[in-house]
Every structure is written in structure tokens, then in C-alpha cells.
Amino acid sequence: MLRPTRTLLAAASLSLAWIAGALATDGPIPADAPQAEPVAIDLSVLRDRPLRHLGTRVRTVIQLSSYDEPWQAQIGRFGPSHFARISAWSDTQFPWVTADYLSPAPFLFTRRDSTADFVLRNARAHERFAVTLDVCEQFGGEPWCEIVELERIEPSINEGCVLHASRAIESRDKGAVELAYSELERALASPMPAPAHGALEALRAKWQAADGR
């Protein structure tokens, strides 16, 4: 009869320990070891290539979409007793664009009762934050990240800007050209981040070129 070697027994013990740790989805998570300097990246790029950045720490800008949405816990580190789920747009997504509005990054997490958790729990939709993320896992093609640091930054897109920009696009689609320009100018008068302002200016230039203005 063959006897298991010490190497095989050790490997089996390590495998069992790994599985037990992976299945403990809702237990407290110890603090991570010191990380390398975060890599600056747009959140949309991170979502396009999550495996490339798996296990790294990154720095990006988010616009809050929602706080503490329910989710189906997977095998891994994030469980609802110890983490809150955040969804957020990148700084290059704009809420008056339907495809962008419907596609925030869905799996960003904060440890409950942390400073980041308190700030985001009391924030309003569209507020902007510079965040440091640990890219911990990848499920369903999306990165699952822990927010380890954040800083509120201004300006943010406000509700008035979203309303007027959305009305401008809707009016244009209905053929109400002058109303569309009027609503677009009102949107542009609002304070907003440079990427958003640039997107609205580009939209105005596109319309003007099409209208021969």
C-alpha cells in the first residue's frame, strides 16, 4: 500500500486551509500588508481590463451612484456583515448619456464603520471622490475592489446640470432645435468637472456643425 508522503500531506493541508479561508465570505478581514505606490487609472479602463490589475492598488476618481445596494455574496473576501457595496461612475461617464447612467461600476466596497464608509453613506449622488482601491477579485467580468482611502473633490455634476443636459438631448431628438440649444447652454452654465464640461462643449460643436452654425 502506498503511503502519502510528507510533501503530499503538506500540500493537502495548505489546500484545505485555502478553501476554508475562501469560504469565510462574511468574517472580519485582517489589514493588508503595506502596498506599493498606487497606479493612477481611469475606472472605465480598470473595468475593461480587471485581470491586468488584479492584486494591485490603484488610484482613480469616482462619481457616486448609490450606497449599500444588496448583492449576492460570492466565494471571496466580501460579505454584507462587514462590507457595504458602492456603485459609482468613472470621471469619463456622464449621467445625461443613457448608456453611461445605466452602467456604473457595481462592485466597490467599504468596510462598515470605516471613515470611507461614513463619508459615502452621507454623500449625495454624483459627488466626486479621489479614491484608492485594492483590486481584490474579478467576478462576472467586473473588478471587485475595496475602497481604502478617499478624498472628496470639487466640483461635482449637480442635478440641475443633469436635468438641463438631458432635456437638451431629448429636445434635439424631437426636432426642437432652439430649445435644445437653450437647455444645453443652461447645463453649461453649471459648475462641473472638466471632463463633463468638455463633453457638453463637444456636443454643442457637433450640433453646430450639423446645423451650419
Q: Which domains are delineated in the chain?
A: 38-153 (2.40.50.140), 159-211 (no CATH)
Q: Which residue do the cell numbers 457595481 mark?
A: 106
Residue 67's DSSP bridge partners are: 86
* 31-58 per-position pLDDT tens digit: 444 557 899 999 999 999 999 999 999 9
pLDDT band at 23 (very low <50, low <70, confident <90, very high): very low
Identity of the amino acid at 20? A
Identity of the amino acid at 139? F
Using a 10 angstrom Cβ sphere, with 0-12 exposed, 13-18 middle and 19 or more buried, the burial of residue 100 is middle
Q: E strand or H helix at 39, and its extent?
A: strand 39-40
Distance from CA of residue 73 to its chain's centroid?
18
pLDDT band at 4 (very low <50, low <70, confident <90, very high): very low
pLDDT band at 7 (very low <50, low <70, confident <90, very high): very low
User: Which DSSP string do the residues of 98-147 spell out, in sequence order?
Assistant: HHHHT--EEEEEEETTSHHHHHHHTPPTT-EEEEEEEEEEEETTEEEEEE
* 123-175 per-position pLDDT tens digit: 999 999 999 999 999 988 999 999 999 999 999 999 999 999 999 999 999 99
For residues 31 and 62, the model is more confident at 62
The percentage of the chain sitting over the pLDDT mark of 90, rounded to a whole number, equals 75
